[in-house]
Amino acid sequence: MLFAPSGALAISMAMKLARLATGRHKTLSMWDSFHGASLDAISIGGEAAFRRNMGPLLPGTEHAPPCDPASCPFRCGERCALRCAEYVDYVLDREGDIGAVIIETVRSTDVQVPPPDYYRIIRRACDRNGTLLILDEIPICLGRTGTMFAFEPYDMLPDMVVMGKGLGGAVFPMAALIARRELDVAADRALGHYTHEKSSIGCAAALATLEVIENEGLLEKSRAQGATALQRLRQLKDSHPVVADVRGIGMLFGVELARDGRPASEVAERAMYASLARGLSFKVGQGNVLTLSPPLTIAPDELDRALDILDAALAEVEGLRVLR
């Protein structure tokens, strides 16, 4: 395990280690992904807002379509046929020299949760091609999805996992790279050399966070309260026509807004500000998805209050005339 003061820097260490371990510099990551805002991180990232007019970016950073039914170029429909995972297999085989596949286990900006076989297909493809699988769990590790690591339900192991944000208890900047033992090949190299990479305060915060997760049963709480909240959000979908889809895992939820089959980005922005005026803060991902990530320590009545606010905000804005 290597520590870093930010998730983007931990991603950078993972990319360096992949080069050392495989002798290859090329990567394959997903369009619409986010791995940080540094130059190397936006090179593997896939959001235009971060990449536009920033070139030249790192060479060899190939991209593939993500597991996202709404924008699936393979036209799988509502039931994912995993052609996106098979395409990753195809690219690895055709390229032949990709060192690492880098993926957000669950894309947290709009809560895209891949089907069970997605990572098994990609894991097998990586193994056949000598490619490392790096999972970015910076915003979702440590219980957000109901398990300590988001990859646990997929019955496979990555070669590296990057964690952050919650590692410092959401208070202190702390991130880490965890790699399997066989990748301990850089004893004579400086994969990370940051002023605060070995922060004693950060380590104390991380240890305290792990203790709270265990002592307060936050993994179980994330699953139980998350299931209740997801049911409530699905009820909101039934009562608000502007809600096109609701997705969730653990205590991570995405409420997708659309009108006439098109993303309702302006409605999403207005819903965010209407909620903020009532005391509820959240982000909007991919332009039209209200992304909710309550604290794992939230009390049931607080969570109910948050969903009441969202309900009221949606009722306020969905009837407004929206400029197209």
Instruction: Tell me the fold of 218-317.
Output: Aspartate Aminotransferase, domain 1 (3.90.1150)
Confidence of residue 243 (pLDDT cuts 50, 70, 90): very high
Q: Is the pLDDT of residue 246 over 70?
A: yes
User: In angstroms, rounded to a whole number, what is the distance separating the alpha carbons of residues 45 and 40?
Assistant: 9
Total Cβ atoms within 10 A of residue 72: 17
What is the pTM for the complete model shown?
A: 0.94
Total Cβ atoms within 10 A of residue 314: 25
**Domain ranges, ordered by start, for the chain:** 2-214, 218-317
pLDDT, tens digit, 9 for 90 and up, residues 95-133? 999 999 999 999 999 999 999 999 999 999 999 999 999
Q: Is the pLDDT of residue 309 over 60?
A: yes
pLDDT of amino acid 321 = 52
pLDDT of amino acid 201 = 92
Two tokens at 140? 């979702």
pLDDT of amino acid 171 = 87
Rounded to the nearest 5 degrees, what angle is found at the Cα of 241, between the Cα atoms of 237 and 245? 45
pLDDT of amino acid 137 = 98
pLDDT of amino acid 57 = 96
Residue carrying structure tokens 């990748």: 183
Q: Range with the lowest mean pLDDT among 30-34, 69-73, 285-289, 303-307?
A: 69-73
**DSSP structural state of residue 218:** H
**DSSP structural state of residue 153:** G
Closest residue by Cα to residue 24 from 93, 90, 98, 96:
98
Contacts of residue 230, defined as CB under 8 A and 6 or more positions apart, other chains included, come to 246, 248, 253
Confidence of residue 322 (pLDDT cuts 50, 70, 90): very low
Residue 78 in contact with residue 60, Cβ under 8 Å? no
User: In angstroms, rounded to a whole number, what is the distance separating the alpha carbons of residues 250 and 161?
Assistant: 19
Total Cβ atoms within 10 A of residue 85: 23
Confidence of residue 197 (pLDDT cuts 50, 70, 90): confident
Residue 101 in contact with residue 15, Cβ under 8 Å? no
Task: Please compute the mean of the pLDDT values over residues 260-278 and round it to a whole number.
Answer: 95
Per DSSP (E only), the strands in 190-299 are 243-249, 252-259, 262-263, 283-285, 289-292
Closest residue by Cα to residue 85 from 36, 133, 45, 43:
133
**Mean pLDDT score of the chain:** 94
Closest residue by Cα to residue 106 from 71, 72, 146, 136:
136
Contacts of residue 298, defined as CB under 8 A and 6 or more positions apart, other chains included, come to 225, 251, 306
- End-to-end, the C-alpha distance of the chain in Å comes to 49
pLDDT, tens digit, 9 for 90 and up, residues 48-99? 999 999 999 999 999 999 999 878 888 877 678 899 999 999 999 999 999 9
> Which H or E run contains 177?
strand 175-179
Q: Which CATH architecture has domain 2-214?
A: 3-Layer(aba) Sandwich (3.40)
**Would you call the peptide bond into 56 cis, given omega within 30 degrees of 0 as the criterion?**
yes
Confidence of residue 323 (pLDDT cuts 50, 70, 90): very low
Q: Is the pLDDT of residue 22 over 80?
A: yes
Contacts of residue 265, defined as CB under 8 A and 6 or more positions apart, other chains included, come to 284, 287, 288
User: In angstroms, rounded to a whole number, what is the distance separating the alpha carbons of residues 164 and 142?
Assistant: 9
